[in-house]
């Protein structure tokens, strides 16, 4: 795909003469407000295409692999540098992708360079590396050098070339440039920039019989008159057996089979009995390509599928509102089969990596090698291979989280956004802070594809668009197999007698239900959306709570590490034994996390097989998939988990879902709090009773009078939506407005406050009636940076929104140009979740 290229000193700028008539706008992986324009040299011009990577210089010497966005003949009124090299024979990006990048950068107020960083696999994003080279023509005198200068000069004399990272290790310093500069001034070394292709094809060494022994008689004569070492004969016979049974033999495979060292195989090669054959191989295992969707849909599913076909012919976006366990995935599979048979590509977006393992197994059952999964757990080389196979059309169904949207589809026809309500579709850090669902809708318009948004609990915005006619709407309101939705019962924590200050973790009623469920041969899910053992500890005397030194948050006690952890910056601290405020040593635990729940259940159910699923317990590439398989196979009876257990997982034998801390979902100062609570509790409830008898959900809660609960207990999404939609309209929140949130960060709290107030002052001149704030967010300091925020609630008017975005950019520039605020960092979040 790419030219291999090595570092060299940057050539001088080409002279710009009248014969040079074409220019290229190039996106580089940096935050830059505009794309850069370069001269397209005549020798590269015939081969350059939009979407190809090129080597370009930025500043005095730094070089990057950028992507050509546009080729044109409009010369800007400033000095231009030339493109140094063309890195691809054919474009690695489609033009529709570049249009998507541009839209994301514009809509979410980021730069195309930031979108490029998010979109491209690491091995396709290249930048030059500084190389220090020894000057053989300039002898040095050790007496004229400092200790560090002499240490580096000696290392250079031996190795001739060193990377900056190697120099840092030799000198044991983070900043090696002062020492390097001294050696450059003394002409002991020179500096240049090198750029290398990171992706390399994987090679495997195969073994073949030498041509002279490929006829049966010659081989028989060799074996009958064997005069070599007996061990070599054993290896040769094993090779012949593998060749007959498997068709091909790798060098490593033969060595493993025979426990022979490489020298035995090498001897057979030297004697011209075997030959080595190096081949390029895939890093990813391949399956046979097949289509098998021979399952029957229920009557309700057949009606829904017919409605999908009809509405998709009329609308570009369709919302599929199907209750949990209704079989939405079966409908997706039927649609995918139709498109694959036509040679088209399908994208199946999921909110998190956690969901991909179960879905990919289902899809591979039906489509085999047509299916690819793409996410950040793959290494950089594997991601490049997936990228290339999607571009070539070899993979026709792609499953993955939001990053899968950026792959180079050549013939995309359907995008399914499953669990479309999930906030994980919105990227938070680093920018671009884009929403994959909304970006998929725009991208489908560019690609001429259709979008299906699937959910049992749609976002308020999507459901609003559906009932007002912007989107199509298909409903599937009964479970597959005529099963009933689970029954939700409340356990009133106020009625449970307990010692003062002591929390109820597992009530007697919940424990009895767990035991009865296990006795019936069913499984149990216990959902608690807090990881760790104890969310915070409190001094019994004065109420002091241990907090992170870098963030304004309490520390969570993790029993597995015997430390206090900050879930914002990742810092860890020793357990607090003495109160920093009053000096006492008496602490009590407040609230409980998944670790404590797991421990409590192990005490109460000593014979049960219990496991925990959260980000602390599920690490590594395949750990999550392994745990899900164990639960599917009923090797685990009780699964304790955070939101990982909520999102679309399908288990056949779950009879009970327990939610020990129901109140924790309802008390946040955020306009989406009721929507999030309904979605989360309805989704986790939906894990119960998906096969066989009706499932049961027990919700431990103190606020039994909360107005959301009747809708939840009746699984009445439409009733919930009506109330929530009216409240949004009354208070001018989405979908009736558009929100842009602006954050300011600075290490000094007073400077941070002054900077955001100055920004608000600039914005108020034209947008005062839309401004809210500034104010301090719930967590006002993270990683030693203080945070202030304000937001704009704008009407759904594109002209007003575009004017406001331009004003935001100008106002931020005006603020940070002031000396007092130059270190202030501003971030913009469009459509915050």
pLDDT digits (tens, 9 = 90+) for 238-273: 999 888 888 888 888 888 888 888 888 888 888 888
661-713 tens-digit pLDDT: 888 888 877 899 999 999 999 988 888 877 777 889 999 998 999 999 999 99
Helix (H, G, I), strand (E, B) or coil at 759: helix
Residue 736 confidence class, pLDDT cut points 50, 70, 90: very high
What pLDDT does 355 receive? 63
pLDDT, mean of residues 119-140: 85
Kind of pairing, strands 556-558 and 563-565?
Answer: antiparallel
**Nearest-angstrom CA–CA distance, 24 and 415:** 32
What is the reported pLDDT for 758?
96
Highest mean predicted confidence (pLDDT) among 24-38, 259-273, 628-642 = 24-38
- What mean pLDDT comes out for the span 578-605? 85
Instruction: Name, of 548-562, 656-670, 690-704, 763-777, the range with top average pLDDT.
Output: 763-777
Mean pLDDT confidence for 451-460: 96
Structure tokens belonging to residue 634:
């009923």
Query: Quick check: 478 pLDDT over 60?
Result: yes
717-737 mean pLDDT: 95
pLDDT, mean of residues 414-419? 96
Confidence of residue 793 (pLDDT cuts 50, 70, 90): very high
pLDDT band (50, 70, 90) for residue 647: low
For residue 68, give the 3-state DSSP assignment.
Answer: strand
Distance CA 402, CA 501 (A): 43
pLDDT exceeds cutoff 70 at 142: yes
Report whether 387 contacts 396 (CB < 8 A).
no
Confidence check: pLDDT of 8 > 50: no
Query: From CA 570, how far away is CA 201, in angstroms rounded?
Result: 36
Is the pLDDT at 150 greater than 70? The verdict is yes
- DSSP codes of every residue in 115-175: HHHHHS-GGG--B-EEEEEE-TTS---GGGS-HHHHHHHHHHHHHSEEEHHHHHHHHT-S-
pLDDT surpasses 90 at 110: yes
Residue 768's pLDDT band, with cuts at 50, 70 and 90, is very high
| Three-class SS state of 464 | helix
Q: Does position 15 have pLDDT exceeding 80, yes or no?
A: no
Query: How many Å apart are CA 428 and CA 632, to the nearest integer?
Result: 33
Lowest mean pLDDT among 269-273, 275-279, 501-505, 517-521: 501-505
Q: Give the pLDDT of residue 404.
A: 94
pLDDT of residue 354: 64
Q: Check pLDDT > 70 for residue 146.
A: yes
Please state whether beta strands 785-794 and 738-746 pair in parallel, antiparallel, or not at all (unpaired): antiparallel
Which phi and psi angles does 227 have, rounded to 5°?
A: -125, 5
Using DSSP, state whether 419 is helix, strand or coil: coil
Average pLDDT of the chain, as a whole number: 88
- Residues 604, 506: contact at Cβ < 8 Å? yes
- Looking at residue 501, its pLDDT comes to 66
Q: Are 423 and 354 in contact (CB under 8 A)?
A: no
pLDDT reading at 127 higher than 90: no
Q: What is the pLDDT of residue 358?
A: 78
Q: Which of 73-82, 133-142, 419-428, 691-700 has the highest mean pLDDT?
A: 419-428
Nearest residue to 477 via CA among 629, 710, 303 = 303
Whether the pLDDT of residue 6 is over 50: the answer is no
Distances (CA, A) of 175 to 132, 180, 181, 182, 711: 14, 10, 11, 13, 60
Give the pLDDT band (50/70/90) at residue 230.
Answer: confident
Other CB atoms within 10 Å distance of the CB of residue 628: 24
| Helix, coil or strand: residue 698 | strand
State how far the alpha carbon of 281 is from the alpha carbons of 1, 15, 385, in Å: 15, 44, 11
3-state secondary structure of 768: helix
Band of pLDDT at residue 17, cut at 50, 70 and 90? very low
Length of the chain as a residue count: 833
């Amino acid at each position: 795909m790419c030219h291999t290229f090595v570092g060299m000193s940057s050539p001088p700028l080409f002279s710009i003469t009248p014969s040079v008539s074409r220019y290229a706008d190039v996106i580089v992986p940096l935050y830059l407000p505009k794309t850069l324009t370069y001269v397209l040299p005549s020798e590269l011009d015939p081969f350059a295409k939009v979407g190809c990577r090129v080597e370009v210089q930025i500043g005095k010497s730094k070089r990057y692999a950028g992507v050509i966005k546009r080729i044109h003949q409009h010369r800007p009124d400033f000095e231009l540098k030339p493109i140094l090299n063309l890195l691809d024979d054919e474009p690695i990006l489609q033009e529709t992708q570049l249009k998507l990048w541009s839209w994301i950068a514009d809509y979410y107020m980021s730069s195309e360079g930031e979108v490029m960083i998010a979109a491209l696999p690491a091995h396709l994003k290249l930048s030059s590396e500084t190389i220090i080279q020894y000057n053989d023509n300039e002898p040095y005198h050790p007496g004229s050098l400092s200790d560090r200068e002499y240490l580096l000069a000696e290392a250079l004399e031996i190795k001739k070339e060193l990377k900056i990272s190697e120099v840092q290790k030799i000198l044991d310093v983070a900043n090696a440039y002062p020492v390097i500069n001294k050696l450059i001034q003394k002409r002991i070394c020179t500096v240049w920039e090198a750029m290398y292709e990171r992706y390399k094809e994987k090679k495997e060494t195969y073994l073949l019989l030498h041509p002279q022994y490929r006829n049966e008689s010659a081989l028989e004569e060799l074996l009958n008159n064997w005069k070599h070492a007996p061990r070599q004969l054993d290896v040769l016979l094993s090779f012949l057996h593998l060749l007959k049974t498997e068709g091909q033999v790798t060098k490593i495979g033969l060595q493993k089979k025979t426990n022979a060292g490489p020298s035995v195989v090498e001897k057979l090669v030297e004697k011209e009995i075997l030959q080595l054959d190096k081949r390029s191989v895939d890093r990813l295992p391949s399956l046979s390509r097949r289509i098998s969707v021979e399952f029957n849909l229920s009557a309700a599913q057949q009606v829904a599928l017919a409605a999908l076909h009809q509405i998709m012919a009329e609308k570009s976006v369709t919302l599929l509102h199907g209750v949990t366990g209704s079989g939405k995935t079966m409908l997706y599979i039927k649609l995918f089969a139709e498109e694959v048979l036509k040679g088209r590509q399908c994208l199946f977006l999921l909110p998190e990596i956690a969901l991909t393992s179960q879905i990919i197994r289902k899809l591979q059952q039906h489509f085999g090698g047509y299916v690819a999964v793409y996410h950040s757990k793959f290494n950089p080389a594997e991601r490049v291979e997936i990228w290339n196979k999607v571009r070539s059309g070899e993979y026709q169904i792609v499953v993955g989280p939001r990053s899968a949207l950026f792959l180079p589809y050549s013939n995309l026809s359907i995008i399914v956004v499953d669990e479309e309500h999930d906030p994980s579709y919105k990227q938070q850090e680093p920018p671009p802070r884009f929403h994959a669902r909304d970006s998929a809708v725009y991208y489908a318009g560019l690609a001429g594809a259709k979008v299906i948004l699937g959910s049992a609990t749609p976002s308020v915005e999507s459901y609003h668009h559906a009932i007002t006619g912007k989107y199509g709407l298909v409903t599937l309101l009964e479970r597959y197999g005529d099963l009933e939705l689970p029954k939700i019962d409340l356990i009133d924590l106020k009625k449970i007698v307990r010692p003062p200050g002591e929390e109820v973790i597992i009530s007697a009623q919940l424990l009895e239900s767990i035991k009865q469920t296990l006795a019936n041969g069913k499984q149990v899910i216990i959902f608690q959306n807090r990881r760790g053992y104890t969310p915070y500890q409190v001094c019994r005397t004065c109420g002091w709570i241990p907090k992170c030194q870098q963030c304004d948050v309490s520390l969570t006690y993790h029993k597995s590490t015997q430390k206090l952890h900050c879930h914002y910056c990742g810092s860890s601290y020793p357990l607090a034994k003495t109160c920093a405020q009053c000096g006492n040593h008496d602490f009590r635990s407040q609230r409980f996390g998944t670790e404590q729940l797991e421990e409590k259940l192990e005490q109460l159910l000593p014979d049960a097989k219990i496991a925990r699923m959260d980000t602390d317990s599920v690490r590594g590439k395949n750990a999550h998939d392994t745990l899900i398989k164990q639960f599917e196979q009923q090797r685990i009876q009780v699964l304790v988990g955070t939101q990982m257990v909520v999102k679309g997982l399908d288990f056949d034998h779950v009879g009970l879902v327990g939610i020990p801390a129901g109140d924790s979902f309802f008390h946040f100062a955020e306009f989406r709090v009721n929507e999030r609570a309904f979605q989360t509790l309805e989704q986790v409830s939906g894990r119960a009773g998906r096969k066989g008898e009706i499932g049961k959900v027990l919700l431990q809660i103190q606020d039994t009078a909360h107005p959301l609960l009747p809708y939840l207990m009746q699984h009445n999404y439409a009733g919930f939506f009506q109330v929530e939609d009216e409240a949004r309209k009354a208070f001018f929140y989405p979908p009736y407005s558009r929100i842009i949130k602006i954050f300011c960060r600075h290490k000094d709290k007073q400077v941070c406050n002054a900077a955001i107030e100055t920004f608000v002052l600039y914005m108020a001149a034209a947008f005062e009636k839309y401004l809210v704030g500034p104010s301090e967010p719930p967590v006002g300091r993270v990683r030693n940076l203080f945070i202030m925020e304000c937001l704009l609630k704008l009407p759904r008017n594109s002209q007003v929104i575009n004017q406001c975005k331009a004003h935001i950019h100008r106002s931020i520039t005006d603020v940070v140009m002031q000396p007092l605020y130059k270190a202030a960092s501003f971030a913009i979040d469009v459509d915050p979740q």
